[in-house]
Chain A
Amino acid sequence: MKVPEQVRRLALLIAILAGVTLLARFVLIPRALVSTDLHWAEAVQREVAKPVKFAGAVACQDCHEDVVVKKAKGFHKGVTCETCHGPAAKHTEEPGAVTPPAPRDRRFCPACHTYDPSRPTGFPQINPTAHNPLKPCISCHNAHDPVPPRVPRECAACHAQIERTKAVSSHALIACTTCHKAPERHKSAPRAALPSKPETREFCGTCHSAGTAAKDAPKEAPKVDLSTHGGRSLCWECHYPHLPEGRT
């Protein structure tokens, strides 16, 4: 078949275009521009070469062994130096020239220790407005070994959320120790020595039973017949003892 003239011309043009493209892509352009492997290796190199600003937990102990040893025994053993003192890589390079700041301001510690209901129960929290106003934290607490200045008298020091809840409930006047027996050691090693919890219906019955069991209980405490009320359920399956009038 005879190829029409215009097709030959078009084919020539396409061939030239394709040739130039292929030549450019595979010959003229250096491999460095099109090699993904090379690009990635370079990018990783650049990433690795970025400066480190936090020296890391182990960098401090060469010079500050005394503090590190002290801290390792206290409640702040899991808190690294740079958590409070800030990035210190420069300080490790030129200890004389760059000194990391020591946060002595009263506003610093509450970043972790202000009461916040979202914080896990048991984490030591205070109300900064009420807690020794205006005094810098370090006047009573050593941040490197932060034991409370005295063993907490109040359960609320740690169990603030429960205390706040209970404070507005009809159980407000009942001391925590009425229902929980807390061994002395619970104050220093809270998780090692756990307080007791009531285990039976009869325990609540000492105040809330309609029978003779509760004859010493306050009159205003609501009374129920333990033999019929709530079947075999335990009281706290329906009532929250720290807020008994709350909906459950």
Chain B
Amino acid sequence: MPMLLRLSGVNTYYGQIHILTDVDLEVAEGELVCLLGGNASGKSTTLKTVIGIVEPRTGTVEFAGEDVTGKNTSYRIKQGMAIVPENRRLFAPMTVRENLEMGAYLLGRAKKEDFERVYSLFPLLHERRNQLAGTLSGGEQQMVAMGRALMSQPKLLLMDEPSMGLAPILVERNFEIIKQVHEAGVAVLVVEQNANISLSIADRGYVLQTGRVVLTGPAKDLLEHEDLKKAYLGR
């Protein structure tokens, strides 16, 4: 499979604090990869480096065969990235439909097919399309956040902690949706603390520890890995 995203030798700093150390990470086209790690292990920073909110000091970010290091966020989004931010960050006083529309802002007027594609994934959003996003429940807001990211027809969907603050049943539902999106041909990079559920749907996984990739491999193998079991799976 051709590579869609490749981080090679990435070192990212916040000021003088060294966050990511020599991170190498790859996502192939149509692959579902999860990035695991505890608090302060550099998961979100990796994601921010991918989307271009922070720039690596050394190393490169390649996307779809092009070196996008130094390019801004909107350029990367135009090339086919989309992000579901941590805590969803919806535009609360705007309706569901308007939120979705903002997801496709860069591509000009939002197309009917895009709305229909998102509504077919999340029929509930069609029902609630004229409701203010701030009045939705957490699980529904997560759907809006995902739908908003999918409006721009991304090749790679970046998800920051999709299970945060949701009831266990909603987390499962959420990951079913991620799986569904993935089966529709979109590559997904999920950043998660919940190792069990994310590995159960992922193709491959990376484990970060204090800014370094300490473990990588097919999701099946990681699920069986002794250290990982002890650290994250609680078994």
Question: Is B one of A's binding partners?
Answer: no
Residues on B facing A (Cβ under 8 Å): none
